[in-house]
Structure 1
Amino acid sequence: MTDIATLPYRPCAGLMILNADGKVFVGQRIDAEVEAWQMPQGGIDAGEDAQTAAIRELGEETGIAPDKVELIAIAPDELFYDLPEELVGKVWKGKWRGQRQRWFLYRFLGSDADIDIATEHQEFKDWTWVEPHTLPDVIVAFKKPLYEQVLAAFAPHLR
């Protein structure tokens, strides 16, 4: 049995994507057992910086091309979340206790037609735009504090 406290956090990048109406992109994970939504996010590969990872994840998860977004803000600090104990051995081959994430706020410059979640390694089965303040209510419970921190970090840029 691994002592969870000794496991490192997985380095990740997260993206809050705002459309022209001030709503945020969320996707419903293909592998989710509950009806939960999340913003695009994923691991930072070796030798990759967080912003490069964010743009790569944007394409991999949403099909949105890099020229369809513009950077608005970067969260000033890394944000962390812990996996629930029952998931630690099941997710990421048991190598991580949770994630440490660098978050980026982007303005979406395209149209809904520029979004295609049927990517090569599809992660979402559905997507929608939601009001920012509803984010903590539509995600898995263990990420609620993280999403509240993301909202606080980007509050000056949200309506």
Structure 2
Amino acid sequence: MQDAPADMPETKACGFLIVKGNPIETFLLMRHKDRWDLPKGHVDPGEDEMTCALRELEEETGIMASQIEVDPNFRYSLQYVVHYKKRMGGVTALKTAVYFLATLTDDVELNLTEHLGAEWFSWNPPHAIQEQTIDPLLAAVAAHVSS
């Protein structure tokens, strides 16, 4: 984690790494203008982590909770400093991102609402996609499924 001042505002987002296959064959990433990301979003007041992750998954991909099987033994969290241009009035904040692991149980047609595209990547660890967030998550999943 990057060093952050003690008085820095904090924010939390939750999401999923969605995979296909057992063992894992592919995983889903969402395309932003300049990077890959996972379906995730900020926690609403009074919302728990799983509720947030499921809500964001459906909002951003159209994948419903009934179409996935959540791994109850996997929860990955990381923190990093972000600068929000619009959200939170242009402030710099300490962001906690929490990710859960789920296997897609039904074939679905993605309904993208917030991303330029999406792609199913082959599961072939180790991965080198995005050093700060995605790569450590994928490494944690790889260790989890091989244990």
TM-score range, shorter chain: 0.7 to 0.9
Shift of 1:68: 0.3
Query: Which residue pairs with 1:126 in the alignment?
Result: 117
d(CA) in 2 for partners of 1:98, 1:69: 30
* Partners of 1:10 and 1:96 within 8 A in 2: no
Residues 43-88 of structure 1 deviation map (CA, whole Å, 9 limit, x = unaligned):
011100000000000101000111000111432x5311222xxxx2
Query: What is the TM-score with the length of structure 1 in the denominator?
Result: 0.74
d(CA) in 2 for partners of 1:17, 1:10: 23
**Paired residue for 2:137, among 122, 131, 150?**
150
Q: Return the structure number with greater strand share.
A: 2
Q: Provide the secondary structure at the position in 2 that maps to 1:78.
A: strand
Query: Which residue pairs with 1:51 in the alignment?
Result: 50
Query: Which residue pairs with 2:14 in the alignment?
Result: 13
Query: What is the TM-score with the length of structure 2 in the denominator?
Result: 0.79
d(CA) in 2 for partners of 1:78, 1:112: 27
Change (3 A) 1:135 1:15: farther
Q: Which runs of 4+ in 1 moved over 4 A?
A: none
Shift of 1:135: 5.2
> How many corresponding residue pairs?
136
Quote the RMSD (CA, aligned, Å).
Answer: 2.2
* Partners of 2:19 and 2:28 within 8 A in 1: yes
**Paired residue for 1:90, among 62, 69, 85?**
85
Q: Return the structure number with greater helix share.
A: 1
Change (3 A) 1:89 1:128: closer
Q: Provide the secondary structure at the position in 2 that maps to 1:97.
A: strand
User: Any stretches of 5+ residues in structure 1 without a counterpart?
Assistant: none
Query: Which residue pairs with 1:69 in the alignment?
Result: 68
Change (3 A) 1:40 1:107: same
* Partners of 1:18 and 1:107 within 8 A in 2: yes
